Amino acid sequence: MEKLNSQLYWQNYCIIKENERLRRKAQQLNQENQAMLSELKQKLAKGRSNPEQGSCLSSTSNPNYSDPSKP
């Protein structure tokens, strides 16, 4: 019985540690998402206030995008 308790204690400990790790990762991802959302909102607002620049979701918003219509 004591061996079973030790095994269960160890499993519980490992689960708790993994949960803490995943919680930290989720918080980090949430912070990144919030930063990207804020950046997107700023770009959208800037695009609305400056309509002569064209669509704010143009290919220039992605530096890795290559326009196939340009040589």
Assigned token pair, 19: 């949960």
Mean pLDDT of 2-6: 95
Question: Is it the case that residue 59 has pLDDT exceeding 50?
Answer: no
Quickly state the pLDDT bin for 3 (edges 50, 70, 90): very high
pLDDT digit string, tens, across residues 5-55: 999 999 999 999 999 999 999 999 999 999 999 999 999 999 898 866 555
| pTM above threshold 0.85 | no
Phi, psi of 68 (to 5 degrees): -70, -20
Residue 50 has what pLDDT? 81
Assigned token pair, 69: 């219509």
